Amino acid sequence: MSNVGKKIFVNKTAASRYILLALLSFGWLTVSSQSNTIKHRGCATGTVMEKYFQQHPQEKIAFEKRQQDFQKKYELLRKQKQGIPAEQRVNAVVTIPVVVHILMEDPSQVTDAQVQSQLDVLNADYAGLNADSVNIPAAFKARFGKSELRFCLAQRTPGNAPTTGIERFSTVTKSYPGEGDPVKYSSMGGVDAWNVNKYLNIWVCEMEDDNDLGYTFMPGLGIAAGERGFVNSYRAFGTIGTARAPFNKGRTATHEIGHFFNLAHIWGANSCTASCTDSDNVDDTPNQSTCFFDTPLYPQTDACTSTAPGVMFMTYMDYVDDAAMCLFTVGQTDRMASAMNSFSELTPLLSSNGCVPPLLYNNDVEAQQLISPNNIILNCATTFTPQLLIRNIGSTTLTVVNINTSVDGQTPAVKTIALSLPSLQTTTISGDAITVSAGYHSIKVYTTQPNGASDQFVANDTATNIFSVTGTATAPVSEGFESSFPPQGWGISNTSDVKEYNPVKATNTAHSGGASVKFDNYHYQLFGKSSILNSPQVTIPITADSVKVTFWHAAAQASSSSRDTLVVEYSTDCGQTFLTGYKKGGNDLKTKTD
Which tens digit of pLDDT belongs to each residue from 557-568? 887 767 889 999
**Alpha carbon distance 312, 73 (integer Å):** 25
- Is the pLDDT score of 408 beyond 90? yes
HSE of 139, CA atoms in CB hemisphere, 13 A: 13
What is the rounded radius of gyration, in angstroms, for the C-alpha atoms of the chain?
29
pLDDT of residue 427: 98
The pLDDT tens digits for 240-285 are 999 999 999 999 999 999 999 999 999 998 889 899 999 999 999 9
Q: How many beta carbons lie within 10 A of that of residue 148, not counting itself? A: 17
pLDDT at 90 over 80: no
pLDDT reading at 207 higher than 50: yes
- At 286-302, the pLDDT tens digits run 999 999 999 999 999 99
Tell me if residue 256 is catalytic: yes
| Cβ 145 vs Cβ 329: under 8 Å | yes
| pLDDT given for residue 594 in this prediction | 72
pLDDT at 385 over 50: yes
What is the pLDDT averaged over residues 37-42? 72
- How many whole angstroms separate alpha carbon 80 and alpha carbon 175? 42
Report whether pLDDT(506) > 70. Answer: yes
Question: Across all residues in the chain, what is the average pLDDT?
Answer: 90
- Residue 527 has what DSSP assignment? B
- The stretch 302-330 carries a mean pLDDT of 97
Q: Does 541 have pLDDT greater than 70?
A: yes
Secondary structure (3-state) at 537: strand
pLDDT tier at 69 (50, 70, 90 boundaries)?
Answer: very high
Q: Is 563 helix (H, G, I), strand (E, B) or coil?
A: strand
Label residue 176 exposed, middle or buried (CB < 10 Å: 0-12, 13-18, 19+). buried
User: Which CATH architecture fits 45-351?
Assistant: 3-Layer(aba) Sandwich (3.40)
Looking at the chain, how many residues does it have? 594
Query: Average pLDDT for residues 506-511, to the nearest whole number?
Result: 89
Instruction: For residue 73, give every residue at least 6 positions away whose Cβ sits within 8 Å of its Cβ, in sequence order, or none.
Output: 338, 342
User: What is the percent of the chain where pLDDT is above 90?
Assistant: 75
- Kindly report, residue by residue over 427-477, the tens digit of the pLDDT: 999 999 999 999 999 999 999 999 999 999 999 999 999 999 999 988 889
- Given the residues 167, 256, 366, 569, select the one marked as catalytic: 256
Q: What is the pLDDT of residue 529?
A: 86
For residue 337, the surrounding DSSP H or E stretch is helix 330-340
Every domain of the chain and the residues it spans: 2-29+471-588, 45-351, 365-465
What percentage of the chain has pLDDT greater than the value 70?
92
Q: How confident is the model at residue 11 (pLDDT cuts 50, 70, 90)?
A: very low
Mean pLDDT of 494-508: 89
Looking at the DSSP bridge assignments, the partners of residue 215 are: 231
The whole-number average pLDDT for the span 475-496 is 91
Q: What is the mean pLDDT of residues 15-24?
A: 63
Q: Which has the higher per-residue pLDDT, 89 or 564?
A: 564
Given the candidates 3.30.9.10, 3.30.470.10, 2.60.40.10, 3.30.420.40, the CATH classification of the domain at 365-465 is 2.60.40.10
Classified as helix, coil or strand, 93 is coil
Q: Region of 309 please: left (phi>0), alpha (psi -120 to 50) or beta.
A: alpha
Q: What is the pLDDT of residue 7?
A: 38
Give the range among 452-466, 503-517, 548-562 with minimum mean pLDDT: 548-562
pLDDT of residue 478: 92
Looking at per-residue confidence, does 81 or 173 come out higher? 173
Confidence of residue 352 (pLDDT cuts 50, 70, 90): very high
Nearby residues of 429 by Cβ (< 8 Å), 6 or more positions away: 387, 388, 390, 401, 403, 417, 419
- Per the confidence metrics, is the pTM higher than 0.75? yes
Confidence category of residue 31, pLDDT binned at 50, 70, 90: very low
Number of Cβ atoms within 10 Å of the Cβ of 484: 10
In sequence order, which residues have a C-beta less than 8 Å from that of residue 513 and are 6 or more positions away?
6, 480, 482
Question: Residue 6: its pLDDT value, please?
Answer: 39
Evaluate if residue 17 carries a pLDDT over 60: no
